[in-house]
């Protein structure tokens, strides 16, 4: 099987398809799963933030994606213990209580 070549291969590898090397998020921005425009709107909703670079918005979007992935995986363990495949609120509550890194979320779902 031949290796992929061309812009598609560069994008798949997380590189800028234009080859400009415009920064670490140039090609990767296309692979963000959260809508960057929405993340930027949320950032700008903070009165203390007047401007946010595209790179900063991408990093925040990626951090949010990783956070959601982590808490979902931890909560899924509790769903599996209950012999379920569907996450329920109690699974998130259990994950928040069990994982020290989620302590800041205690009481936020009430």
pLDDT tens digit sequence for 37-72? 999 999 999 999 999 999 999 999 999 999 999 999
22 or 61, which is more confident: 61
Q: In 3D, which of 2, 28, 4 has the Cα closest to residue 17?
A: 28
Interatomic CA distance for residues 22 and 9, integer angstroms: 17
Interatomic CA distance for residues 30 and 17, integer angstroms: 11
Segment 29-35 mean pLDDT = 72
pLDDT over 80 (residue 26): no
């Amino acid at each position: 099987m031949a290796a992929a070549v061309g812009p598609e291969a560069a994008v798949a590898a997380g590189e800028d398809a234009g080859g400009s090397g415009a920064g670490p998020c140039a090609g990767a921005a296309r692979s963000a799963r959260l809508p960057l425009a929405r993340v930027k709107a949320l950032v700008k909703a903070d009165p203390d933030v007047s401007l946010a670079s595209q790179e900063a918005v991408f990093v925040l979007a990626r951090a949010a994606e990783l956070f959601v992935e982590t808490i979902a995986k931890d909560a899924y363990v509790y769903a599996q213990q209950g012999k379920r495949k569907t996450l329920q609120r109690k699974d998130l509550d259990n994950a928040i209580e069990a994982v020290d890194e989620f302590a800041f979320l205690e009481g936020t779902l009430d």
